[in-house]
Amino acid sequence: MHLKISLIICLVLINWAYTIGEETCGKNETYDPCGPFCVAHCVFRQFTSCKPGCNPGCFCKDGYIRRTRDGPCILYSDCRFLFQ
């Protein structure tokens, strides 16, 4: 009985944490409880090596990329001006 109650409490807390994370994400972002440690942005579009594991937080939605390391998520196609 105690195991069932503990499991239910854990599931509620995980769901609550996931919901809290979603509410604090910015425009064109989504919360991921197990996102990557290395995130591409307009200056560095890809990485050759990255720390393995889960990194909870807000990440750009599909089709978007961060303008700068900690900047807002913009359309991937809008990065071109940084390289011209």
Q: What is the dihedral of CA 67, 72, 78, 79, to 10 degrees?
A: 10
Sorted by where each begins, the domain ranges of the chain are 2-83
The structure tokens listed for 24 are 């604090």
CATH number for the domain formed by residue range(s) 2-83: 2.10.25.10
Total-model pTM: 0.63
Q: Which comes out higher in pLDDT, residue 17 or 73?
A: 73
pLDDT tens digits for range 34-75: 998 888 888 876 666 677 888 899 999 999 999 888 899 999
